[in-house]
Structure 1
Amino acid sequence: MSRRAILAIGLLTLPLTACLTPTRDYHGYVADEAQPRDMTPDVDTRSTVLAKLGSPSTKSVFDDKTWVYMSDVQSRIAFFKPKITNRSVTAIRFGDDDKVDEVLEYSADDGEVVNYAARETPTRGRELGLWEQIFGTVGGVRLPNSDERTPGNPTGR
């Protein structure tokens, strides 16, 4: 193979290498200085956790005693579906005295797949076909007549 052919093939395949480079997306809580797992039980309080970590990603639904800090890193190659390369969920539970009781850490391995119900709620009314959807409003537009206007009405109707 000649040098020109090798050079041409190399120049043609060079732009394709950019598609094979994975891109990373960071979602959720990104720690600046302190990590959620560094909170010390019976030492840190609600106010010190808020000062060190900032607002939580979410709070517990039924009471305000658990704060959750969530983050994940997704990697995507070209147009393929992104894959989660790292997931971190840290739950901080507070006691009645507003001190940290425990710090729980979860990873992607601790997650469970939840199956959603595929049921659909039927809607009332008739289903329109393609031609009814396209031409259904033809002739249905009402044009204002001089008969419909009411004298003295500020809207003109």
Structure 2
Amino acid sequence: MRNSRLLVQGASVLALGVAASGCASIKDHRGYIIDEALVATVQPGVDNKLSVERTLGRPTFTSPYGKQTWYYVAQNTKQRPFNRPRTDNQAILVVDFDAKGNVASLNREGMTKVVRLSPESDKTPTLGRDRSFFQDLFGNIGAVGAIPGGAGQPTGGTGPNGS
């Protein structure tokens, strides 16, 4: 009797532990890993693109136009069960270069650059008729192979074949 009771209690504790672990958040790091010691060695007016790339590595992305800017982006995300990942923390290291390719400034950005989009629904509004699922599914029955304008009537088109 006592062994079966211990077995039931052990199984219930194990089941509770498995259920609780399924509710845990998943934490992940994405992007650049910022090393403060390396960032501190980059000096405006002293370093250039080559020395920055050798010190910090290749940037996450660069500015395609305008002033020459390199971005090093690091994100920590958190994902709850059955949800999409959300940005928990973000750090952006912005390295601006002058026209000669020397470092002009080093700045940091944070969560202020994170944009959370909240679309209204799962549908994209479009112009035209609003048809139901069944109208879309069965709407072309009988229309396949039909002659535009009716049988034996000219179509009135402007193409080379009158269509």
Aligned to 2:143: 140
Aligned to 2:51: 48
Equivalenced residues, count = 140
CA RMSD of aligned residues (A): 3.5
Q: What CA deviation, in whole Å up to 9, does each residue of 1:34-68 have, x standing for no partner?
A: 75554221221011222333332232353242111
Task: Provide the C-alpha distance between the structure 2 equivalents of 1:75 and 1:115, rounded to a whole number of angstroms.
Answer: 17
1:13 Cα deviation (Å)? 1.5
1:16 Cα deviation (Å)? 1.6
Q: Which structure is richer in relative contact order (CA contacts within 8 A, separation 6 or more)?
A: 1
Q: Is the 8 A contact 2:27 2:76 kept in 1?
A: yes
Task: Provide the C-alpha distance between the structure 2 equivalents of 1:38 and 1:121, rounded to a whole number of angstroms.
Answer: 51
- Aligned residue for 1:7, secondary structure, equals helix
1:3 Cα deviation (Å)? 2.4
Task: Provide the C-alpha distance between the structure 2 equivalents of 1:116 and 1:7, rounded to a whole number of angstroms.
Answer: 45
Change (3 A) 1:121 1:43: same
Q: Please list every run of at least 4 consecutive aligned residues from structure 1 whose deviation after the TM superposition is greater than 6 angstroms.
A: 114-118
Q: 1:96 aligns with which of 99, 105, 109?
A: 99
Q: Which runs of 5+ in 1 are unaligned?
A: 144-157
1:18 Cα deviation (Å)? 2.6
Task: Provide the C-alpha distance between the structure 2 equivalents of 1:128 and 1:98, rounded to a whole number of angstroms.
Answer: 57
Alignment of 1:53-132 (within 5 A): 53-108=56-111, 110-111=112-113, 122-123=126-127, 125-132=128-135
Give 1:102's aligned amino acid. S
